Amino acid sequence: MDNFEYCNPTRVFFGKGQIAAIDTQIPREAKVLLTYGGGSIKRNGTYAQVKAALGGRKVVEFGGIEPNPAFETMLKGVDLARAEKVDFVLAVGGGSVVDGSKFLSGAVFYEGDPWEIVLTRASVVKKTLPLGAVLTLPATGTEMNGNAVVTRRATKDKLGMASPLFFPRFSVLDPELTYSLPPRQIANGVVDAFVHTMEQYMTYPARGSVQDRFAEGVLLTLIEEGPKTLAHPTDYDSRANMMWAATMALCGILRVGMPGDWASHGIGHELTALYGMDHGQTLAVVLPGVLAEYRAAKHDKLLQYARRVWGESGSDEAAVDGAIARTRAFFESLGVKTTLAGYGLGADAIPAVVEQLRRHNRLTLGEGDMIDLDGVTRILKRCL
Ligand code: NZQ
Ligand code: ZN
């Protein structure tokens, strides 16, 4: 375990009715930009609760943020925020709304070409509007981290960025807001949180006992609660555990002092940008391929995962085989297909993914940069 510094500045309000806490977190005199997506918050009652909590504050609305938020869309929001001179952003929705709003919160003050924010992974961001979030989809962890991912539709560039200034000031996590999620989004969320945990855990033994046990706890919770939330959409306890698991998976606590992989995400973002697959779908396809192709390098951790998470008791090699197979079967059991063919893609889809990574200067991926672009091709050939 390497030296580390850990600070998470996001204040979380978790549980039923917590939207009311917004009133204590946003100054009364603030002019609020309320951002949201395609309308789910209006259909499930979240919007009405948020408006009630905002009370007499001046509110300007910016809706229509799409899944995998478009840079082009968010620039319209930046124009609105500037014209209206808002001084607080309240993002209400899933990861796309929160991520797009984080970008907006920095772009408002940036005087250069806003694409530079993305290209520099937000290192040019020196000031942001304060941002709060009301999360309606447990998956990304954006509610308690400083990351944002936006896509420039015109050029098919889906790129992540991170800044300490992007942490929400506060986030409301009310599991009841997730009851209305369609099964596809619930399943995508379970897969996303699972793969976030794996990206920080499935590398090599690094003597971080707490981090390992914590990661295994998150994985086991997702395995237990994910299927329950699908089968019983209004089971509060399952929803609550699912939501907290997803937040813990990417709030930075699993990562401290530990190596990371992130190859499944690197490859997955290109699959979304090129072929429009959902983020969770890309991860369900790529992760089993990474595990199989880099089985030797990840062997010791795969074995630990097999024994502790899946309870595999056979010989070492049989246990590793079992763990990889059961990971794939778990995603499939949620209704998320784990092959490219499941999304209508074949071997001819692979070269463009590699080319995109080259264009984005992502020539090596994985822990220790062990995966080169030939490795990416081999991984994707395992995903057909
Ligand atoms: O747009 P609306 O109408 O709100 O509908 C959304 C959208 O169609 C719907 N939805 C959300 N909450 C709902 C609901 N429908 C019914 N009831 C509810 N309670 O779900 C659909 C998908 O929403 P989206 O926000 O796109 O999903 P998600 O939360 O999975 O976010 C995905 C985005 O986050 C990025 C992904 O790349 C992708 O762009 N990620 C962000 C990360 C981060 N900031 O740390 C890390 C992740 O690895 C990921 O890359
Ligand atoms: Zn993810």
Q: Which pLDDT score, from 0 to 100, does residue 264 have?
A: 98
Distance, C-alpha 168 to centroid of its chain: 15
Closest ligand to the CA of 194: 2
Q: Which residue range forms the structural domain that includes residue 16? A: 11-177
Identify whether the C-beta of residue 88 lies closer than 8 Å to the C-beta of residue 132: yes
The answer to whether the CB of 233 is under 6 A from ligand 1 is no
CA-nearest of 101, 97, 92 to 41 is 92
Of 34, 35, 40, best ligand 1 pocket probe by most atoms within 8 Å of the beta carbon: 40
Q: Which pLDDT score, from 0 to 100, does residue 82 have?
A: 98
Q: Which pLDDT score, from 0 to 100, does residue 133 have?
A: 99
76 and 216 share one domain: no
Of 155, 177, 199, which residue sits at a domain end? 177
Of ligand 1's listed atoms, the one at least distance from the Cα of 178 is: 19
CA distance 37 to 313: 46
Q: How many CB atoms lie within 10 A of CB 347?
A: 12
Q: Residue 291: CB partners within 8 Å, gap ≥ 6?
A: 202, 298, 302, 324, 327
Q: Which pLDDT score, from 0 to 100, does residue 228 have?
A: 98
pLDDT band at 88 (very low <50, low <70, confident <90, very high): very high
Of 140, 261, 272, 282, best ligand 1 pocket probe by most atoms within 8 Å of the beta carbon: 140
**pLDDT mean across residues, the chain:** 98
153 and 31 share one domain: yes
| Structural domains counted in the chain | 2
Of 147, 177, 207, which residue sits at a domain end? 177
Q: Which pLDDT score, from 0 to 100, does residue 47 have?
A: 98
CATH of the domain at 309: 1.20.1090.10
Of 152, 177, 202, which residue sits at a domain end? 177
Measured by CA distance, the residue closest to atom 15 of ligand 1 is 181
Q: Residue 255: CB partners within 8 Å, gap ≥ 6?
A: 200, 211
pLDDT band at 195 (very low <50, low <70, confident <90, very high): very high
126 and 34 share one domain: yes
With a pLDDT cut of 70, the percent of the chain lying above it is 100
pLDDT band at 352 (very low <50, low <70, confident <90, very high): very high
Element (H, E) at 59: strand 58-62
- Sheet order of strands, 170-173 included: 11-14, 170-173, 131-135, 88-93, 31-35, 58-62
Q: Residue 224: CB partners within 8 Å, gap ≥ 6?
A: none
Q: Which pLDDT score, from 0 to 100, does residue 383 have?
A: 97
pLDDT band at 150 (very low <50, low <70, confident <90, very high): very high
Q: What is the pLDDT of residues 356-365, one digit of tens each?
A: 999 999 999 9
3-state class (DSSP) for residue 173: strand
252 and 119 share one domain: no
Q: Which pLDDT score, from 0 to 100, does residue 214 have?
A: 98
The answer to whether the CB of 122 is under 6 A from ligand 1 is no
Q: Which pLDDT score, from 0 to 100, does residue 308 have?
A: 98
Q: Quick one: average pLDDT of 58-74?
A: 98
Is 85 part of any domain? yes
Q: Which pLDDT score, from 0 to 100, does residue 350 have?
A: 98
Q: Which pLDDT score, from 0 to 100, does residue 256 have?
A: 98
Tokens encoding 65: 């943020």
Tokens encoding 142: 């954006």
Q: Which pLDDT score, from 0 to 100, does residue 48 have?
A: 98
201 and 162 share one domain: no
Q: Which pLDDT score, from 0 to 100, does residue 57 have?
A: 98
Of ligand 1's listed atoms, the one at least distance from the Cα of 151 is: 39
